[in-house]
Amino acid sequence: MMIRPSRTWRDGVAEEARELAAGTLEPGQACMAILFPEALLAATDAVLGDFEADVRALAEPSDQQVMAVVERVVLALNAVNESFDHAAYETDERERLCEYIDQVLAHSGIDVPALTARQGIDRYAITDEWRDW
């Protein structure tokens, strides 16, 4: 089962809140709610939801159609990142988002290694052409 990165981040925020409430975490050590405000999580969820719908809508897709869907999700995530002063997605978050994009494509039956080979890029560089985050 694929779990959206934003779901993982939201769960982390909730866990940290429980620890703060229980007194097992000092307020000065808490950072999840700062790193992942609800507005960021909601915006990321919306983008990923649109991406998932776009991938589901592909019936026997061409490479061009798949790459267009990847471009759209990356540009939408760029916009989210920009709206958070270009600081929404750090290294770990970027890796999780890229992995999620790959997983959604693969889960839908797209042979990502073959697709990227035909594009002349590494499998894990599928987002690089458009990614600012």
Kindly report, residue by residue over 42-93, the tens digit of the pLDDT: 999 999 999 999 999 999 999 999 999 999 999 999 999 999 999 999 999 9
Mean pLDDT, residues 15-27 taken together: 96
What confidence score (pLDDT) does residue 2 get? 84
Residue type, 81: N
- Single pTM value for the model: 0.93
- For residue 33, what are the contacts with CB-CB under 8 A and spacing of at least 6? 13, 16, 17
